[in-house]
Amino acid sequence: MLKFKTGDLVYHPFYGTGIITSIQTLEVSGAEQLYYIVDLAIGDVLMIPIKEAEEAYLHSPMSTESIIAILFATPMELADDFRHRREHLEGKINSGNPESVCEALRDLAWRENTAHLSRGDRGLMVSAKKIVSNVLVRLPDRDIREASQLLESMLTRCAREWEVSGLR
């Protein structure tokens, strides 16, 4: 029944990365339920019913190596039509799937290096960067500021790689 234990690092797509600090029984509407208590990197506390943890997309965060692999993979050509592009990218960014968000960020970063990003594209890129930065948090070793800096350095290296490999 318990997927995680106290001390586990977890990721929630809407709230970011945190550490399970305890598992508590709480009474809600007259019924007792087990809850994961998660201290989030942003400083908040999240309480997730254990029986709903999987539906709440609570899972182990991706490794830094997995994120690098996705960012350095060959980017996908994005549609020239902004509506189609936006629909595709929003679907990936809002999916709750960190791999899909990394793919969207990679493709936007590549487009930024090869073509013009519209204002809407830039907004999508900011959203994707926030999500991936939250995935990169490794409490207590790396906070959100350090994760954001790491992501920016990864994207800079990607741009250099694309230029060297002729993808630019």
**Residue 3 covered by a domain:** no
Q: Mean pLDDT, to the nearest integer, of 68-80?
A: 92
pLDDT band at 1 (very low <50, low <70, confident <90, very high): low
Please tell me whether residues 100 and 154 are part of one structural domain. yes
Average pLDDT score, the chain: 89
Contact 100, 135 (CB under 8 A): no
**Residue 77 covered by a domain:** yes
pLDDT value, residue 52 = 81
Burial class (CB within 10 angstroms; exposed 0-12, middle 13-18, buried 19+) of 140: exposed
Q: Mean pLDDT, to the nearest integer, of 117-122?
A: 94
pLDDT in tens, 31-64: 898 999 999 888 899 999 888 877 767 888 888 8
Please tell me whether residues 40 and 81 are part of one structural domain. no
Please tell me whether residues 40 and 107 are part of one structural domain. no
* pTM of the entire predicted model: 0.84
pLDDT value, residue 86 = 95
Check whether 162 has a pLDDT greater than 70.
Answer: yes
Contact 120, 134 (CB under 8 A): no
Q: Is the dihedral of CA 30, 5, 51, 11 positive or negative?
A: positive
pLDDT in tens, 138-160: 867 788 899 999 999 999 999 89
**Start-to-end Cα distance in the chain:** 49
Whichever domain contains 14, its CATH number is 2.40.10.170
- Domain with 21 in it: 9-52
Please tell me whether residues 13 and 88 are part of one structural domain. no
